[in-house]
Amino acid sequence: MIVATNLCFRTIPTTCTTVKQQKDPPHQLNLVIPTKTKVCECFDLHKELIPYEKAWSWQKQIVKQKKSLLQEHEDCPDTLIVLQHNPVYTMGTGSSENYLNFDVKEAPFDVYRTERGGEVTYHGPGQLVMYPIINLRNHKMDLHWYLRTLEEVVIRVLSSTFSIKASRIEGLTGVWVGNQKLAAIGIRVSKWITYHGLALNVTTDLTPFSWIVPCGLRHRQVGSIKGLLQEFQSSRQYAEAIKPFTDDYQLIDISYRSLIKEFSEVFNLEIHQKAITVPEFWREDH
C-alpha cells in the first residue's frame, strides 16, 4: 500500500520529468562555479541500510534547521548524507499509479509518495544514495544548473574510476550509458535549500525495477556499475581494469570514495566527515 503524508507539495524538475533542453552540448556546460571553498558536513552511512522513512524525516529536520539559520541571518553550511536504503519504492507528488506493475494494496515493498517531482523509482541494497542538503545561495540559484551539476558528479565518477563513458540525454534528467540509466536524480528545493538527491546503482539487484516503469520511461533500461563491468569482462581492453572490482563491498567503497571526491570538486566544497553510528541514528528523533 502507498504510505501517504500530509505535505504541501511543489513539483521540481527531477530525473523522471522532462526538463528544458540544453542549448549547448553537455561537454560545453560550465558547471563549476569559481567561488571560495566552503565547508560541507558529511554523514557517512554508505555501508548501512537505512529505512527510507527515517532518512526522509532526517532530511526535512535538517532543512528546517537551515531555514531557521537563514531567518536569523546566520551562516547556513551545506550537508551531505550518503547511505543505502532497505528495498522501497518512492513516487513524486504527481506520480501515476499506472507506472506500478502491481496492486498497491499488495506491493512487494513499502511505497512512499514524496514531495519531490517525477515518477516512481526503486531504492535498495547496492545503490548509493546521496542527499545533498545545500543552500544554493552559496552556489548558484539555478535549478537547471543544480541538476546538471549532480549529473556531472556521476559522469566524472564513472569516467575517472571505472573508465565508463556516461552521458546525458537531452530532455531527460539522469546519467546514462547507452540506453541504460545508472543514476536517477530527484530533488525538492525550498527557499533555495535542496533535499532528496541522486541514487547510483552500483551492485544493485535490478529485478525490482521490472515491477515498475522506472521514471515513467517505458522504452529505457536500468543498469548498474557492476552489470556494466561484467559486460566488459569479455573485452580484453577492460580485463585489467575490472580485476580490482570483483567484490561487491569493495565496489561500493570505491564508488563511495569517488562520489565524495567528485562532489567536493564539482561543488567546490571541503568535505568534513561527521561520524554517526547506526545506534546513534536510531536514538535520534529522525
Does 215 participate in catalysis according to the annotation?
Answer: yes
Take residue 33 and report the three cell numbers written for it: 562555479
CB 93 within 8 A of CB 113: yes
Take residue 36 and report the three cell numbers written for it: 571560495
Q: Edge-to-edge, what's the strand order for the sheet holding 88-91?
A: 2-3, 111-113, 88-91, 121-123
Q: What is the sign, positive or negative, of the torsion defined by CA atoms of 33, 253, 223, 16?
A: negative
CB 118 within 8 A of CB 82: no
- Cα–Cα distance measured from residue 125 to residue 238, given in angstroms and rounded to the nearest whole number: 26
List phi, psi (to 5°) of 242.
Answer: -95, -5
Catalytic residue positions, numbered: 215
